[in-house]
A and B are shown apart, each in its own frame.
Chain A
Amino acid sequence: MSTGRPGGLWARWKALLARQETGEALAVFRVFVGFCALWAVAVPMQYGVAEFMWADTGYRGEGMDADTLRWVLRLGVVSSVSLILGIGGRVSAFVTLQVCIAFMTLHPAASGAHDRLIKNALWLLVLANSTATLSLDCRLKTGAWTSDRLVSAWPRYLAVLQLFIMYQATGIQKISPEWTPLGGFSALWYIVRSDMWMRFDADWLPYWFTQFSTAGTWIWEWCAWVFLYALWCRDKRPATHWANRYDLRTLWAAWGIGMHMILYVLTVLGPLSWATLAWYACLWHPDEYRAGWRRLAGRLRPSVDPASG
């Protein structure tokens, strides 16, 4: 098998996949995904919603036997919590994934984009070493909660790519005039009044605010390529480059978090906002997590007055 010409595309591709880094970003991603998966399996356990949707005793008369269903749900809760704590490594992620796939195929109409995001994230956590640091696995292996152990960076790159694909594809496919100036940016006006999505009566909400939020969402999704460009600049361009000086990636992420929070407050979309924001953890390099932690710890540490010593 050819190994590729040095400096050629194939060799550069392999070099990119061979990169290693410490595991902070993947660990944070793992914790967020674990909470989202826990939401996905634990919330339906309330009020018999799970049996109603997924058991053969439910309204559809098809699905799992009710007792088996309850055991599978409990297994999902245990594996999600294991994922959050970082115990069991890839096995926890794989078990959670299988539980999620089972439920999402049982009643596709009761499944949504957040389920796809959780499943895809869990696959990456099966492939990645996400418990190298900030995990119980790390504590048991090394005696410390953190470790400098290097892990493959490519799962984080794939997570970034998935985030880009998701936003860019959904932005391009928002073809209703209500998303655009042609429809007066009125999409959110109708969404918050749709009975099944509304969180509360939105009559008090000014029209201009829904227009602002619609335009903000639509433009920002269409501009998903911006964060990919910003990450490329961080890798290939000097720190003095304008995209790095103003940290274009963090600006894009801050805008996204704002838009997701507006949607979260105004609508009931399940864990969509959280399942999307979990992927943001991969936008920052582990070194940036370390630097951020050092800055935070420095601020929290009580300052010593030299005169008192």
Chain B
Amino acid sequence: MSQPNRLRAWFIELRAVLILAHIVVIGLQAFPAPVGGASKGTRETPSVRGMIADASAITGLPEAQVDALVFGGVETWIAARKKVLKPFSPYYKWAGTKQSWRMMAIINRRSARLRVEIDGALAYRTADSEARWRAEIIESARMRGAVIKYAWKLNRGDYKRLSAWIIDEAVADYGEDVDVRICVERAAIPGPEDPPPRVRCGWEITR
């Protein structure tokens, strides 16, 4: 085998310092934290309310008390984390080495299907094999992540922009006189023993 390189002493020291610093900095960011957990939007989602109700039933404490305990702790935790990470934020930003690993941490028991009707007929509906107009774009792997957020809460600005694009595409395909109706069908995902859910189509935008 070939001989190892001989490195200068200062380089060995510097490398040891930099790698250790990197591990500490990314370790701090990766340390588990309920980021976003204290926001009003998250607190009021049905999934989180369900978790609080479950915890209340298990512990016997009133729901309001469980809520105060959980979110009081979450707020303190997040504030402390923010202070610790602040000096390193340029490093995370410019190196692009984010360590956010909250993957499916909270299970959303609600689904959101985008529904598009053109001239009164169903043209597109999420995951519907019969309604595939522009599905290759709206359901592309990257867009799935963006659209799924509608199941948590509506990002009004993003939804409006997506709807405007859909209307432009419909006009391009069907002409200036086209009628378009866009909405999001939201429903609870039924558990193994639950009856089929009631579906409501909200956030309607028409042309």
| Chain A residues in the interface with B (C-beta under 8 A) | 1, 3, 10, 13-14, 17-18, 20, 22, 43-44, 46-49, 52-53, 58-61, 97, 101, 104-105, 107, 109-113, 116, 119-120, 123, 147-150, 154, 158, 161-162, 165-166, 169-170, 172-179, 182-183, 186-187, 189-191, 193-198, 207, 268-271
Contact = CB atoms under 8 A, between A and B. Distances in A.
A173 B32 contact: yes
A125 to B, nearest CB: 13
Nearest to A120: B97
Interface of B: 1-5, 7, 9-10, 12-13, 15-16, 19-20, 22-23, 26-27, 30-32, 34, 47, 51, 54, 58, 95-109, 111-113, 126-127, 136-137, 139-149, 151, 155, 158, 161-162, 164-165, 189, 191-192
A165 B97 contact: no
A174 to B, nearest CB: 6
A174 B105 contact: yes
Contacts of A47: 136-137, 140
B149 A123 contact: no
A113 B101 contact: yes
B105 A175 contact: yes
Contact of A173 (B4, B15, B102, B147): B102
Nearest to A51: B137
A52 B155 contact: no
B30 A169 contact: yes
A3 B14 CA distance: 11
Contact of A110 (B96, B98, B145, B151): B145
17 contacts: A1-B10, A14-B16, A18-B7, A20-B4, A60-B161, A110-B142, A111-B145, A150-B5, A169-B99, A176-B51, A189-B191, A194-B148, A196-B111, A196-B112, A196-B127, A197-B148, A270-B142
Nearest to A48: B137
3 interchain residue pairs of minimum CB distance: A59-B165, A196-B148, A169-B101
B101 A177 contact: no
B151 A182 contact: no
Contacts of A43: 140-141
Nearest to B20: A13
Nearest to A175: B105
B137 A101 contact: no
B107 A1 contact: no
Contacts of B95: 123
B141 A195 contact: no
Contacts of B104: 174, 176, 187, 191
Contacts of B31: 169
Nearest to A10: B16
Contacts of A18: 7, 12
Contacts of A49: 136-137, 140, 142-143
Given A119-B97, A170-B101, A195 B107 contact: no
Contacts of B102: 170, 173
A180 to B, nearest CB: 11
A271 B142 CA distance: 10
B141 A176 contact: no
A150 B144 contact: no
A274 to B, nearest CB: 12
A97 B13 CA distance: 27
A194 B108 contact: yes
Contact of A14 (B13, B106, B126, B158): B13
Among B4, B32, B107: residue with most chain A CB under 10 A: B107
B54 A17 contact: no
Nearest to B144: A196
B192 A195 contact: no
Nearest to B113: A195
Given A110-B142, A195-B112, A170 B4 contact: no
